[in-house]
Amino acid sequence: MNECIINPQRYANEPLLPESGILLINPAEADLGMKIARRLKARRCFLYNSNLFIVNNDSVPFFLVGPAVGAPMAVICLEKIIALGARNIFVLGWCGSLNNKLRIGDILLPTWALCEEGTSSHYPLNLRPESTPKLGSRLNNIFGKIFQVSQGPIWTTDAPYRETRDKVKKFAGRGIMAVDMEFSALLAVAAFRKVQLAGALLVSDELYQPAWQPGFKSKYFRKQSRKFLQALFDDFSYE
């Protein structure tokens, strides 16, 4: 029998989420997001090893969840918030650039993902999952005013310490623009559960250089990270 033994569901006393909200992958943005949510007196709810807030503003309420690093944890969070009512999910995360069109502090809006993680295969699909164009367009409108924004495919891997030069060169040659640890799995679940999902990924490091160039500890990147979250938060708050 192919019936799943455990299914995501909403239990008694668990919240019903607004349809739209933000999934924050990394602890840095998640910590800042939760501080903003607390200032707005958002309702805090339990969600595994992540934080979940429901923000009730003057217009449309939204949810905020994170962190959720790595495909398995990101998918557990996504499955649960879908069970709680989420239907339009905006993902904010980081990625490593594979070519010089994406520099540290720029943003990639992934259109689809090449899967090298172990979670997606458990969500059988007939077609390659892609980002929801309508949500991607909204992200482009938000970030295009203040960031250098590109769109294109991403490579998702479970093994960041096995990102070899040969792989970077090969995938870059196929038009893959960056690498992360979650996005292909999130797309697979969104397609399987028939919800809308798109993401914006801040470039944290450059893998195409002769030597790896990490940027996530620099003052410039931290400043970009704060602007990154605040821009989307402001858009939701004044929707």
The answer to whether residue 11 is domain-embedded is: no
Q: Where does 100-162 have alpha helices with state H?
A: 133-143
The answer to whether residue 56 is domain-embedded is: yes
- Its domain, for residue 200, covers 20-237
pLDDT values of the chain reduced to their tens digit, one per residue, 239 residues: 688 999 999 999 999 999 999 999 999 999 999 998 888 889 999 898 899 999 987 668 999 999 999 999 999 999 999 999 999 999 999 999 999 999 999 999 999 999 999 999 999 887 889 999 999 999 999 999 999 999 999 999 999 999 999 999 999 999 999 999 999 999 999 999 999 999 999 999 999 999 999 999 999 999 999 999 999 988 887 66
Distances (CA, A) of 127 to 4, 174, 190: 22, 19, 13
Residue 238 has a pLDDT of 66
Q: Is the peptide bond before 67 cis (omega within 30 degrees of 0)?
A: yes
The answer to whether residue 173 is domain-embedded is: yes
The answer to whether residue 15 is domain-embedded is: no
Prediction pTM value = 0.96
Burial 99-132 (b: 16+ CB within 10 A, else e): beebebbbbbbbbbbbbbbebbeebeeeeebbbb
The answer to whether residue 4 is domain-embedded is: no
User: In total, how many domains does the chain have?
Assistant: 1
The answer to whether residue 6 is domain-embedded is: no
Interatomic CA distance for residues 39 and 186, integer angstroms? 29
Q: What is the CATH number of the domain that holds 49?
A: 3.40.50.1580
Distances (CA, A) of 104 to 176, 206, 213: 17, 7, 9
